[in-house]
Chain A
């Protein structure tokens, strides 16, 4: 075999590998979804028992006057012994009426609601939490600490459904299911509602089965006092993902983290792509920092915790590396199109069942797991990968549909150049969708093109939008952009 032929074959092999890399995150997703049904038979509820420790609730608040009264009132209505529940609002030097709202509620519920004020604020949530935790650790009243956000609404039974897991001394922390709960959600909020079913109701159940949980939800993390003290008695302030940091420390220290999907907490989520972008860039940058900080944990099985297991690493990096794998898949297909068109066509055609099967299995399971959210967000569930990706799946399953059938309906015939352009469009869609996602953010809110942002969102899909945001976060982290703790604006639209 000649050297050029060897070089050609090597290049084709490399490009095929790039395509295969592109499907690895889907394998991670399928693996997680296969564990969801297992959770029905194997979960921590068998170790749960009635347990009502003295719980101190810490609510970090910065200019939360609009939403705080409702949250505090809900906390007071929790089905939990009144003498075993105290709420501490840590006011991070708010400039609105937050302190007045808390004082009024404290007067309504004497001894149950307390105001702690930081005069010098703006350092972020972790610093605010630590101010409260430092206060709480001064005496021994607190047996468990619930960290929540000012804008979330706890269902009456949610706290006791979390504390029941603490009857197991092995458990260090418990988290609940944060469900999008806006009264009249717009398109972005409905997408987020569906996303939370996948990322929490499904993924966290799978992680329960794996024995390694990726993150205690920031708005619902219950720690035992022993766990809190063991992880240093404070929340990490060096990363943008303080909740994930605590989750990892808890498990590395040999204690279990449990997700209880029956404990439901409602949250108002952003309803604009711009607000979502700001929030998720912070989250994604936090995950980069976590990945680096715990670099000696990944894929290193160890006694005492399961964070180093192969399956947990696969799941973590499936999400972490998703934008890169999409770029790899596109590069692979486009490269093959020019180097070995037959291979590209064969590979694209042979992956049809994988694309269709992954989409159907994940979508159907997600819709069935939370029927309430499915009623609100079923369309966003179907459109989650975007119209473009669905066109791709159909093109893979029935190559002639877009090239022959649809043109015949329209009374046209595609020229060879048209076929070539269409094929390249399909192969480049994973990357193109991320570019368009950026465009959605840029046009949203503009006078001339603002109206295009919603149709574009459904065309591009919410998944590619998240990938674009993640990629942006990685670039910012790599460039060492300023690390700010931006507050997501909330208006109190949650209805329980």
Chain B
């Protein structure tokens, strides 16, 4: 569930139940996994480029 959906002004928090907040934490944990993917992609691309340059030298 997206917590932003309920955010409609100063009272928006009032509908953010514990369940909503728990869901938000879970969503953020999933979002953090992107950094694992990002790091792996960056490492892979780096190795690829270095190997290509090494082959062309």
Residues of A bordering B, CB below 8 Å:
33-34, 36-41, 43, 45-46, 48-50, 52, 76-82, 156-157, 160-161, 164, 205, 261-262, 352-353, 356-357, 360-361, 364-365, 368-369, 397-398
**Of the residues A160, A365, A369, A398, contact of B21 by C-beta under 8 Å:** A160
B35 touches A39 (CB 8 A): yes
**Of the residues A50, A157, A352, A397, contact of B4 by C-beta under 8 Å:** A157
A369 touches B50 (CB 8 A): no
B38 touches A369 (CB 8 A): yes
A79 touches B41 (CB 8 A): no
**Could you pull out 10 A-B pairs where Cβ atoms are within 8 angstroms?**
A46-B29, A82-B13, A156-B4, A157-B7, A262-B28, A262-B31, A356-B53, A360-B45, A360-B46, A398-B53
Q: What chain B residues lie within 8 Å of A81 (beta carbons)?
A: 13-14
* Nearest A residue to B38, CB-CB: A368
Tally chain B residues at the interface, Cβ within 8 Å: 40
A365 touches B12 (CB 8 A): no
Q: What chain A residues lie within 8 Å of B21 (beta carbons)?
A: 49-50, 160, 164
Q: A39-B32, A45-B25 are in contact. List 12 more A-B contacts (CB 8 A).
A: A39-B35, A41-B36, A45-B32, A49-B25, A79-B6, A81-B14, A157-B7, A164-B25, A356-B50, A361-B43, A365-B38, A365-B39
Q: What chain A residues lie within 8 Å of B42 (beta carbons)?
A: 33, 360-361, 364-365, 368
Interface presence of B22 (CB below 8 A): yes
A361 touches B46 (CB 8 A): yes
- Chain B nearest CB from A123 CB (Å) reads 35
Q: What chain B residues lie within 8 Å of A78 (beta carbons)?
A: 13
A interface, by DSSP: helix, strand, loop or mixed? helix
Q: What chain B residues lie within 8 Å of A352 (beta carbons)?
A: 53
Q: What chain B residues lie within 8 Å of A43 (beta carbons)?
A: 29, 32
Q: What chain B residues lie within 8 Å of A368 (beta carbons)?
A: 38, 41-42
**Of the residues B7, B32, B57, contact of A397 by C-beta under 8 Å:** B57
Q: What chain B residues lie within 8 Å of A80 (beta carbons)?
A: 13
Given contacts A39-B35, A48-B25, contact A364 B50 (CB under 8 A): no
B16 touches A40 (CB 8 A): no
B32 touches A156 (CB 8 A): no
CA distance in complex: A280, B47 (Å): 35
B53 touches A33 (CB 8 A): no
**Of the residues B4, B34, B45, B46, contact of A40 by C-beta under 8 Å:** B34
* Nearest A residue to B41, CB-CB: A368
A157 touches B3 (CB 8 A): yes
A40 touches B37 (CB 8 A): yes
- Chain A nearest CB from B31 CB (Å) reads 6
CB contacts under 8 Å to A, within B1-24, are: 3-4, 6-7, 9-14, 16, 18, 21-22, 24
Given contacts A49-B25, A364-B46, contact A160 B13 (CB under 8 A): yes
Given contacts A157-B3, A262-B28, A361-B43, contact A50 B49 (CB under 8 A): no
* Nearest A residue to B20, CB-CB: A50
* Nearest A residue to B6, CB-CB: A79
Q: What chain A residues lie within 8 Å of B16 (beta carbons)?
A: 79, 160
Q: What chain B residues lie within 8 Å of A365 (beta carbons)?
A: 38-39, 42
A82 touches B35 (CB 8 A): no
Q: What chain A residues lie within 8 Å of B31 (beta carbons)?
A: 262
CA distance in complex: A52, B54 (Å): 55
* Nearest B residue to A363, CB-CB: B42
Given contacts A157-B3, A360-B45, contact A33 B25 (CB under 8 A): no
Closest 3 CB pairs of A and B: A37-B39, A40-B36, A368-B38
**Of the residues A52, A79, A360, A369, contact of B35 by C-beta under 8 Å:** A369
**Of the residues B12, B28, B38, B50, contact of A37 by C-beta under 8 Å:** B38
Q: What chain A residues lie within 8 Å of B4 (beta carbons)?
A: 156-157
Given contacts A45-B29, A157-B3, A360-B46, contact A77 B38 (CB under 8 A): no
Q: What chain B residues lie within 8 Å of A164 (beta carbons)?
A: 21, 25
CA distance in complex: A89, B36 (Å): 40
CA distance in complex: A45, B29 (Å): 6
- Chain A nearest CB from B32 CB (Å) reads 5
- Chain B nearest CB from A224 CB (Å) reads 18
CA distance in complex: A391, B44 (Å): 23
- Chain B nearest CB from A134 CB (Å) reads 29
